[in-house]
Amino acid sequence: MTDLRVETLTAADAADSALVADWQYVHNTIVPVASAYLSLDDVRERAGRNVLEVAYAGDVLVGCSTVRTPRDGVAAVISRVLPDHRGRGFGRALYERGLGKARALGAEAVETVVLASNTAGLRFAERAGFTQEVDRYRLDGDTVDWVELRLV
């Protein structure tokens, strides 16, 4: 695996940061459903309540991640890697970083969420230990279900 450089997007630097645009690009590429499309302002708002990170192999954008602050002891860890960069360990590295951050935030349990149509993402989550399906739902306007999985 090429050395992975990960930058954390904070609320303080979100106003003028190119990291916002990179995080948005990866998210909107990996999650191509209307209900999940995020504007730059949406990303800035999320940076104020979640841990958002952007990953680079050298200077090449490869992925991003989200760690949602624990609610009722449960945090969500989501790693996303652009298709051309999959299979090189970037997703695993982002996931492991996110898991550490979730635990540092006090998470007693960790979940992730994947589009049901993203079979590669579902396989990745299962290999990472997310084997307990917690919920399956469809947001207004979507044509595909979201699958919420818990780390077992």
Could you tell me the CA-to-CA distances from 75 to 3, 96, 103, 106, 141 in Å, in that order? 27, 14, 8, 9, 26
Q: Which sign, positive or negative, has the C-alpha torsion 33, 35, 39, 44? A: negative
- Tell me the C-alpha distance between 10 and 13, whole Å: 6
CATH dotted code for 4-151: 3.40.630.30
> 72-87: b or e for each residue (b if 16 or more CB lie within 10 Å)?
eebbbbbbbbbeebee
Domain ranges in the chain are 4-151
Tens of pLDDT, residue by residue, the chain (152 residues): 568 999 998 877 777 789 999 999 999 999 888 888 999 999 999 999 999 999 999 999 999 999 999 999 999 999 999 999 999 999 999 999 999 999 999 999 999 999 999 999 999 999 999 999 999 999 888 889 999 999 98
